[in-house]
Every structure is written in C-alpha cells, then in structure tokens.
Structure 1
C-alpha cells in the first residue's frame, strides 16, 4: 500500500474515533446503578411500566386526597411495591400554606423491608430546596417546575420491595399531597446492582475558629494551614462498597464576604490524608471567581444564577450577612468509587475560619447493608435562620 493510502486510512480511522467520542448518544449516557445494559431510545424494553399515584380510585377528582389530610405527627406510606423493579421518576406537589413546610415534611425510602431508611431528608432539601423556599431550576436528576412541582430522576433499583413514606412534622395538617411515582417491573436485575441512598446533614452554624477577621484575605486567615481536614464540614460518611454521586448544598451567611473559601477533601477507603483535595468551594461546584464576586465579574453588577445538568448555582444571595445560596454538583461523568468507606468533607472558609449555616443532602449508591445515619435534627433546629456569630457584616468591613 502506498504511503498516501496508509495516511488516508489512518485519517479515516481517527475521524471515526473522534466521531464516536463526540457522539451525543455516548455523551448523554450516565452510570446505571442497576447494572443493566444501557438501552438506546429506539430499542425495545423488556419490563412492564408501573405507577404509584395519588389518583382518586373512586373515579372522582380527589386526586391529592383532600378528604384525608395528613395530620401533624402522621406518617403516611405513599408507596409499597414488590420487585424486582427500578423507580425511574418521582413527581410531588404539596398543598400546604404552612411556613417552612419544605423543612417540616420528611421523605424516607426503605429497600428490601429494612427497618432503617436508605433515604431520609426534609422533602425540600431532597429536591435541592434547602432554604425552605421554592425556586425554579433544572438539573440531570432534580428539578422544580412552575407552581411547586418537585421532580426526581435518580434511578432506584430494588429486588424485593420498596416503601416510600412522608411524615408531617409541622404544626398544621397537609391539605393534600399529590404524587406520581413511575417505576419498571423487571423479571430480574443484575447481580452487581447498588441501592440509592440520600442523607441530610446540617451545621447551624459551622464552627469557625475565629470571629476576629475583616476579610477572607486577611493574612492570618490565608496563612492558616489545614492539611488533615480537621474541623471540616462532613457531607457524607459511609461504610460499604459503592459510589458517591453528588450533593445539593444550601447556605445562610452569618458573616459577610464570600462564603466559599473552602476546599473539598474526600477520604476514600480509610485514607488518613485526603484522597482528593480541591481548590475552593465554587471550584468544586464547577463555578469560578466567587460566582461573580471577587472583583471579577464579566456581567457587570449582575450575578447571574444558572442550573446546568450536573452543576449549578440557582440561588445567589451576594456577600452580605444574611445572604442565601444554593449550589449543587453531580459526578455523572465519573462517580467517586469506594470499596470500604468514604468520607466527603468540605472546609467552611479557608481552614474553616467561617461560621455560616450549611444544609446538605448527599446522594450515593452502595450495596446493602448501609451504616447508621446521624439523627435527623429537630424541626425547630432545621428552620433556616441567620445566627449572630460576630465577624464582618460584609466584605468591606
């Protein structure tokens, strides 16, 4: 073969490889925790489509069960099905005028008849609304649509059973709770499947080591060392075998200046030093330069919010005391695998100098059994509020 022909063949092969790597079909694929082979949209599916719904079985229009309000202190099972199956989508909307009801209603999900839940979080936090206020955004796994529509797309496989409950820890009855939960009934699931988990944590406030500072860039702040991660906020600590998929994170600033001068530090399989070490909170959440602060803002005085498939900043409150923020990150491109344990942490300010309020939900998959969850804080302690921790009121002080 002539050299020109060889070069032509190589070029064609290289072009084919680049086409495959850039193919939207490949780019849009995400890990399937059930272990099932990915199916193209045009291929036949070998399962039966099922739905758990709040529809009025009498044929009337009491779809949200207005006649049977969920009383204060009541736990109601909204789904209890047998497998093998995979929950693929959950849609909720809540008829409640009680202030902070997104913090007062608790969502729990149990797999395989377990007595302890694999999902436990205030319902607002689970859907990324960690400040008990509705706002619209869209991500790969979670979204909030107009008029309080809560959507979840995490695939949740189970072999024998799945039970979903909601508990009203508020002072008033929930007038109605609408839901459509779509799931697939399978003949079997692969042996290498893992179970979906979600866990809520908070710190009100985080334990900053100093209130005697005026700006994040003060010399004594910047020169403080934190190699071990001592005092970091813990997003997740889990035992077993699985992978960390992501986190939603809401913040109330108790101090001025930028809240995000803190690195993520992830410890995998018992490592004493961070296996993965980051460069700043906005960097971990895939933004940059204080989301428009830091004196570097190509958008002028506007600090735009955004919500992309795997990362976002849908709530941006500025840098003054009392500012409210929400950020999220999903590791869809490469979930963080652990074989024995994982501890996902993040600093609150550089070397943990800040004392803001953090509210997080970690999302991950693992084999059963899971370890114990931390106790869910009491309702009164979950309600977002600013705490007087001294320190600067804004970045100019």
Structure 2
C-alpha cells in the first residue's frame, strides 16, 4: 500500500467508475437513468435524470449487494449513510476474486470506528465520519479478478441506505496485498484478561490499523495493558510490545488532563469517543480509539498475532486485570493473495 496522495501525479490508463443506487453497475453513461426509486415522488415535477434513485430500502434480514465488479481494479472510496442507531446490526462483507468467504466481515459501525450506540465523528486520513452520519473509508482495496461488497440488515426494522463505492479500473501489481479485517468481541473478557485483536494469520503481510471499543467494567484508570505483536514465529514473547493502551493510541498519562478525558482525532490516531464525556474513571464509561499504521506499517513475513492486555490500576499501585470488561476490536491488514483467508468473529 502506498502513502495517501502519492499516486495523484500519475497520468496512466486508469479509468474511474462509481457504483451507487443511481448507477448500480458503474457502467459508462449508465448513471441517472432510473425511472423509479426512492426519489421518484420528489422528482415527479422534474422528469428523468433528476435524482430518482438516490438510495435503497434495506429490509429486515435482507442482504443487499452494493457492488459486484470485474477486475483488475482498486476501490478508492466507500461512502454510506443509514439509520445511525443500527450501525452495529448491519454487517459489511467484502469478497475478493470470487472467494467463497469474505476477507472483510464485521459490523458496519466498527469498520467506521463507531462501535457504540451514539455516533462519533472521526477526522482521520483513512476513515472520516462526518455530521450527521456520513461514513467514509479511504482504505485502498485492490482486487484482480473481481470484487463484491454486501450489507446485511440484522436489525428489527427496515432502514434507508445511501451509498457510493468508487473504484479505478487499472492493473494491480503482483506485490499488492488484499485488505482484510477481523472483528473480535469479548463480553465479558474473563480470565486471563487478554483480548485477541488478531488471531494468527499467515504472511507475507502488513498490519495497518486497529480500532478499539472498550468498557472497562471497573472504576479507576483502565488502560495500563500493553498491545503485543507476535510476528514471524513468536510464541511466548512478542517482537513488538507497547507501554500501555493510551500510549499505543498516541495519548499519555491516562488520557487525563485537568481531571477529565480530552478527545482528539488526528490523521493517524485518536481517542475520538468518550461516553459520557463529562465523567472520568467510571466502570460503565465507553471509549472508542483508533490507530492507522499508514506511515509505520507493521510488516510480517511468516505470520502475525496481536493481543491486548486489559489492565486497570489499584489504589495500592498494582495492576488490576479487567475481567469484566467489554471489548470489541477491529484489525486491518494487507495480506498476500496466496494466503488470504476468511476473517473470524
């Protein structure tokens, strides 16, 4: 994966295509041709070509195919918006090259750093969540033979869905990996207080991102635990080991400034959600944070496994395993097409 913006100077044979409810196939000249759709009543005085099909209605327990295209190509931007209260009940799946199992399978909200019931805005390089629920992904997603993106509605009601998936038709180099995502959920975490962010996956690959949603389940400071990256044959001890949860996400000293948490959202890391925002060190508070390893990818050749210790802090200045914590994590990595396998939940 190249750094954001590094390809903008290229004037080659790539062609831009975009799939939406107004152009379901993305074919040249096929946009705005609908004669019926969710906007038909509003456009009845204007005629053809005037926003007749801007969205779809996704029924309860229905799976919609948002995009199905032939390769080679690279998805450059994925934008969606829907009912903000059901982001955890909508399941996003992405398949590469006719694979029977998805390389990406997780709740829609978690893919966009929104694992809690209240919308959190994000201003980062790879994911942007804008008012009032615009979900944007700029992760480049190459494919060779084909790509398919689906969304399943696991909620108890029908929801509106607006979407646009933009990709370029272009050659994909042999060295390009496929984007994968693994979502893991611990509720409660239990003993030992170690949350698996990424089960062992084969290389070669590059680990590029972590989203973490945590509810500590105990009062006091909750982020003493280290993130550990076991790569290329590591077993008991990791090659890469951080110094604490807040440190990994770019913060320091308990995220505590003047007796309160301070949220931040930067291009590559952030603590973008604290619920409720005016409390501190409460057991039922909910936190969301992300780190994108775009400028500092974690490269592995043989295999990779990632874990998070969930540790709080006792008054006697000893660590407290957070066995009652609720934790959900999303791991993002690029993997060789020769070894890509389905992600687990």
Pick from 278, 299, 304 the counterpart of residue 262 of structure 2: 304
Please state how far the C-alpha of 1:118 moved relative to its aligned partner: 0.5
Higher helix share: 1
Between Structure 1 and Structure 2, whose CA radius of gyration is higher? 1
Structure 1, residues 129-180: CA drift from partner, whole Å, max 9, x if none? 0113212121111010111100000000001100000001111112x21111
- What does the per-residue CA deviation read over 1:311-343, in whole Å, with 9 as the maximum and x for residues that have no partner? 100112431121010111111122111112100
Any unmatched runs of 5+ in structure 2? 23-31, 35-48, 313-318
Deviations, residues 343-380 of structure 1 (Å, cap 9, x unaligned): 01110106771121111111100012323432x4xxxx
Give 2:341's aligned residue.
371
1:117 to 94, 97, 102: 102
Q: Is the 8 A contact 1:63 1:178 kept in 2?
A: no
Q: Which of residues 192, 198, 201 is equivalent to 2:175?
A: 192
Q: 1:51 aligns with which of 12, 18, 38?
A: 18
The alpha carbon displacement at 1:62 in A equals: 4.0
For residues 310 and 6 of structure 2, what CA distance do their matches in structure 1 show?
Answer: 39
Instruction: Select which of 213, 216, 222 maps to 1:250.
Output: 213
CA distance in 2, matches of 1:150, 1:45: 29
Asked whether the 8 Å contact 2:101–2:341 carries over to 1, the reply is no
**TM-score, normalised by the number of residues in structure 1:** 0.73
> Contact between 1:259 and 1:356, CA under 8 Å: does it hold in 2?
no
Within 1, Cα distance between the matches of 2:52 and 2:260? 45
Residue 241 of structure 2 aligns with which residue?
277
Separation of aligned partners in 1, 2:341 and 2:71: 23
Is the CA contact (8 Å cut-off) linking 2:104 and 2:342 kept in structure 1?
no
C-alpha separation between the residues in 1 aligned to 2:174 and 2:10?
A: 23
| CA gap 1:161/1:52 in 2 versus in 1, 3 angstroms | same
Question: Partner of 2:151 in structure 1?
Answer: 166
Distance change (3 Å), C-alpha of 1:304 and 1:111:
same
Which residue of 1 is the match for residue 53 of structure 2? 63
Alignment of 1:182-331 (within 5 A): 182-186=166-170, 188-208=171-191, 232-237=194-199, 238-272=201-235, 273-292=237-256, 297=257, 300-317=258-275, 318-331=280-293
Shift of 1:32: 2.2
Q: Which residue of 1 aligns with 2:45?
A: none
Q: What secondary structure sits across from 2:109 in the alignment?
A: helix
In 2, Cα distance between equivalents of 1:57 and 1:147? 28
Aligned to 2:135: 150
Residues 191-229 of structure 1: CA distance to partner in whole angstroms, max 9, x if unpaired?
Answer: 1110001111110111146xxxxxxxxxxxxxxxxxxxx
Contact between 1:208 and 1:348, CA under 8 Å: does it hold in 2?
Answer: no
Secondary structure of residue in 2 paired with 1:103? coil
- For 1:248 and 1:352, the matched residues in 2 are separated by 23
RMSD over aligned Cα, in angstroms?
A: 2.1
Helix, strand or coil: the match of 1:316? Answer: strand
Aligned residue-pair number: 308
The whole-number CA distance in structure 2 between the counterparts of 1:62 and 1:205 is 47
Distance 1:367 1:114 in 2: 14
The answer (yes or no) to whether the contact 1:102–1:133 under 8 Å persists in 2 is no
| Distance in 2 of aligned mates of 1:202 and 1:352 | 20
Residue 178 (structure 1) aligned with residue 142 (structure 2) = no
Per mean C-alpha deviation after superposition, the further-off stretch among 152-161 and 44-53 is 44-53
Is 1:207–1:352's contact at 8 Å kept on the other side of the alignment?
no
Match of 2:95, SS state, is strand
